[in-house]
Structure 1
Amino acid sequence: IDFEDGIKSGKIEYIKQDVIDKYLDKVAQQGVHTDLVADSGLKVVYTPLNGTGNKPVRAILKKIGIKEVTVVPEQENPDGNFPTCPFPNPEIKEALAKGLELCKTVKPDLLLATDPDCDRVGIAVPDPEGNYVLFSGNEVGAMLLKYICQERTALGTMPKNPVAVKTIVTTDICKKIAAEYNVELREVLTGFKFIGEQIGFLEKEGQDDRYIFGFEESYGYLAGSYVRDKDAVVGSMLICEMAAFYRTKGISLLQAREDMYKKYGNYLHSQKSFQCEGASGMERMKEIMTDLRANPPKAIGGLKVVDIADYLASEETNLETGAKTVLTLPKSDVIAFKLEQGASVIIRPSGTEPKIKAYYTTIGDTRADAEAQEEKLIEDFKGILGF
């Protein structure tokens, strides 16, 4: 059917404004300190990366009182050819090039970038020298979790028995934050649908108000149970609100991140992919996973493996005691090697591409310590995999 014919015949309808208004009201309800935003003086540069975020993100920022929003002009309107951004992914620094360029003249407190379908959001903030520093999805998600827990507890608006959700490859700093604020932290398999599923479980029990926040390391965030997928509109709103709140306290987002690391430890995360191209690629991926199960490493990067969680066998084994635990998550071709000092390596084949993905976590007293250990893990594990 032709689009215009569909409109004329009534087979295709535009979403009415009252539905959009109800959605924006639900998003705004997830705010914690929206009353502080209007007078915070927060200045934002925003790019929808030629995608769908332009109107809803600007609408929600206006709704909570942010007056100074400068949109990257070349990336304002929808354009599926993405002429100024060949890879419109807010996880990639190159995607933010136009936004970072505009920041040199506008000098905002925050650069905000949503991906084309507006379900993920990335940020950059200025350092003391005026250079803009990108934050990872793990960092933003952990900071939002801490902010929500800290401020809802202070305001007395935390639900009874609150629940937060993260994926198994998302930062474990959340465990320390959740423990501090008596929040039940649920871990699910990779994929935001599994976070949405947890909200569904709570809803069936009539307890969906217990859900306070969920996120994954790949820049997807959700507060509230009004939708069941990551939502960059509420993510953008909460990030801006958090920045405005800290600004009223004289704290930059860089300082807030540093304070979080000082309190809970310097958690460092990275993800590396190993290509398995060609006709034999899928077979090689299977062989690698089979070999890791049959001959698991005793140490990685000089750190002893203390625990192995095999999500295909639904079994976790403590190598020090030999104790086995049944994993209750759905079966998935994922292996997690938990190491000394809180480090870990998680490996899984990609579900969409001929590659194997490894997720590395290290914890250090300083960022330099964590980086040095991470380098050892990556190099050693590469050899273990035979690349």
Structure 2
Amino acid sequence: MHIEQSILNKVNEWLTPTFDEATQAAIEEMMTSAPKELEESFYKNLEFGTGGMRGVMGVGTNRINKYTLGKNTQGLSDYLHKSFPNEQLKVAIAYDCRHNSNTLAKVVADVFSANGIKVYLFSDMRPTPELSFAVRYLNCHAGIVLTASHNPPEYNGYKVYWQDGGQLVPPQDAEIIKVIEDLKYSEIKFEANNDLIEYIDTEVDEAFAKSTVENASFNTPTEAKANLKIVYTSLHGTSIKAIPNVLAKAGYTDVNIVPEQAEPNGDFPTVVSPNPEEPEALSMAIALAEKIGADMVVGTDPDSDRLGVAVRDLDGKIKLLNGNQTMVIMTAFLLEQWKRADKFKGNEFIGSTIVSTPMMLELAAAYDVECKVGLTGFKWIAKFIKDFPNQKFVGGGEESFGFMVGDAVRDKDAVAAILLVSEIAAQAKASGSSLYQELLNLYIDFGFYKESLISITKKGIEGANEIKQMMIDLRENPLKEINGQRVICIEDYQASKGKDFMNNEEFEIHIPKSNVLIYYLEDGSKICARPSGTEPKIKFYFSVNGVLDTIENAESVEKELDNKIAGIISAMKLN
């Protein structure tokens, strides 16, 4: 096959003595036996997306390896020295259960230390939210997590956190990327200064657990906690290092761990995908819940920032909630707790994202707090906390099964969220209700909102071009009607402009640019198209709503809403 000269130039660079013999041998093997794989490995440089940098592990500029991560770290080191002159720089590093995460974390630590930067390196795998906590607890200038979140086993990744404990946001992200791109691989300092590397574990673990229990506990009686039967699975990930301990410290005594999934394992052998968004991922936990008569199932992704929750419906059957549902349940509970404690002073806010349920806006209005809405990704919610220091953050989330309780952790945090949802479930059960019934009560008060998501995977060079063309078509040939409903507004976050077709008016969008399109229909439905920032996917988010007058009608209303979503998907030819 023909390979472009620009790709061959990169390949030839990687065959120089700057790169180790094993790397060169792997490239030479691909040149003779796998030219297509060679092209995929070098046709572009890995880029920072919504949740940092993620990619397949292997050799090449488009892969996760010691050189691509070493270059990132060298660039970040140079940027830190420039940003904080004459300071003793400090960074914290954590890693998850994925293959090579521990060795890649040591490479990153070595490069930082070789640049005179003090490194706090966790001695074993830890959840991502604990790293966010540790950055502030240890007064670090930055933090790194080696993780690919819920991606398949062949992936790994690199998330960068700033001194506020939140992920990189503008302008730092673009500035750091520019420094990285201007570096040569030969400029990476790999020779560690081990005097600057300090291993951390118990002290930070205990502080993190203590903070979590304080922030996510709300006066649940001891008896109520004892009466809640929980099934928990870590899906072979890092949350096993934190969640059982936090639940025990908070007083939950009937926590049943799925034994087959308790051992951390980067192959994730018992699931197709280690993602609690996927119903299949929690199937073993649900089976255990049925066997022992549990009230609730909770599970986390490999780095423990996402949580999945399944509860018993009105008929006693286990039902998996989606990320929007868990978000509104937790947000409504937090708002009510703040109200009862008379904590509202008029400067509070909750956080959400443009692809999440509009029901968050209804909750905010009911409690007279602001709902700040940002782009997809928790870094934007963390940025709100940093940018508005005179306002108090109550909590917030996004549809992708993430939630943040208060501001002790500045990223989505399944550890605190699981404790919070346990508090809600325990209190509901003690009062003769249930977590699911509480959700339906919210739908009666604020409207029945139902959301759904379709992810279309398009791998490789051709796939990237297909996704690009889909977005071009939606922009240049916008749909005027979908499923019998007029399109009344389109928001284009890449152009920072919107068009109100009802009033024939254009308006500015004051949110950072992003490759996102949102269509609004006349019946209140919302459709969002967004290429993933970290995976070879394009995602379509659907939100519809209706009126629920009584709990008895919940099933029929939900069926109507499901049919409406199916109609939209069919009309857009996405199935």
| Same fold per superposition (TM over 0.5) | yes
1:197 aligns with 2:383: yes
Equivalent position to 2:456, from 246, 268, 274: 274
Q: How many residues align?
A: 378
From 72, 75, 89, the equivalent of 2:261 is 75
Q: Which residue of 2 aligns with 1:150?
A: 336
Q: CA–CA distance in 2 between the matches of 1:43 and 1:354?
A: 39
CA contact (8 A) 1:37 1:244 kept: no
Matched, 1:160 2:160: no
Q: How does 1:287-302 map to 2 (within 5 A)?
A: 287-302=469-484
Shift of the 104–284 alpha-carbon distance from structure 1 to 2, 3 Å rule, reads closer
**Is it true that 1:334 corresponds to 2:516 in the alignment?**
yes
Q: Would you say 1:374 and 2:570 are equivalent positions?
A: no
Work out which of the residue numbers 286, 306, 310 in structure 1 matches 2:492.
310
Identity %: 35
| Structure 2 residues not aligned, in runs of 5+ | 1-101, 111-120, 124-193, 548-556
Does 2:238 align with 1:52?
yes
Deviation readout 1:310-333 (Å, 9 max, x if unpaired):
101101221111222211111111
Does the Cα contact within 8 Å between 1:53 and 1:233 map onto a contact in 2? yes
SS of 2:221's equivalent?
helix
CA distance in 2, matches of 1:372, 1:133: 19
Aligned partner of residue 504 in structure 2, secondary structure: coil
1:178 counterpart residue number: 364
Measured after TM superposition, the shift of residue 129 of structure 1 is 4.5
Q: 1:99 aligns with which of 241, 260, 285?
A: 285
Task: State the alpha-carbon separation in 2 of the partners of residues 35 and 285 from structure 1.
Answer: 48
Specify the SS of the correspondent of 2:346: coil
User: 2:440 corresponds to which residue?
Assistant: 258
1:23 equivalenced with 2:208 (yes/no): yes
Query: 1:120, 1:325 → 2: CA distance?
Result: 35
Q: CA-to-partner distance for each residue in 1:262-284, whole Å, 9 max, x for gaps? A: 22222111111334456443333
Q: Distance in 2 between matches of 1:75 and 1:225?
A: 30
What is the CA–CA distance in structure 2 between the aligned matches of 1:291 and 1:82, rounded to whole Å?
38
**Structure 1 counterpart of 2:568, which letter?**
L
Q: Would the alpha carbon gap of residues 56 and 34 (structure 1) be closer, same or farther in structure 2, given more than 3 Å must change?
A: farther
1:85 paired to 2:276 = no
Instruction: Return closer, same or farther for 1:363/1:148 CA change in 2, 3 Å cut-off.
Output: same
Instruction: Tell me which amino acid in the other structure corresponds to 2:411.
Output: D
SS of alignment partner, residue 263 of structure 2:
coil
For residues 48 and 354 of structure 1, what CA distance do their matches in structure 2 show?
Answer: 25
Deviation of 1:142 after TM superposition, in Å, equals 0.7
What letter is aligned with 2:204?
V
Q: Provide closer, same or farther for how the CA distance between residues 39 and 286 of structure 1 changes in structure 2, counting only shifts above 3 A.
A: closer
Give TM-score scaled by structure 1 length.
0.91
Deviation at 1:130, TM superposition (A): 3.9
TM-score, normalization by structure 2: 0.62
Q: Which residue of 1 aligns with 2:85?
A: none
| 1:51–1:117 contact (8 Å) kept in structure 2 | yes
Match of 1:36 among 205, 221, 226: 221
Q: 2:298 aligns with which of 103, 112, 118?
A: 112
5+ long unaligned stretches in structure 1: none
Moved more, 89-98 or 269-278: 269-278
The answer to whether the 8 Å contact 2:314/2:437 transfers is no
Cα deviation for residue 290 of structure 1 reads 2.2
> Deviating runs (4+, > 6 A) in structure 1?
none
Q: Which has the larger radius of gyration?
A: 2
Letter in 2 for 1:29: E
CA separation of 1:265/1:106 partners in 2, compared to 1, >3 Å: closer, same or farther? same
Aligned-partner Cα distance in 1 for 2:412–2:535: 22
Name the CA shift for 1:376/1:284 in 2 (closer, same or farther; >3 Å). same
Quote the RMSD (CA, aligned, Å): 2.3
Deviation by residue 1:140-180 (Cα, 9 ceiling, x = unmatched): 00111111112221221335321111111111111111100
Give the match's secondary structure for 1:341.
coil
8 Å CA contact 1:49, 1:82 repeated in 2: yes
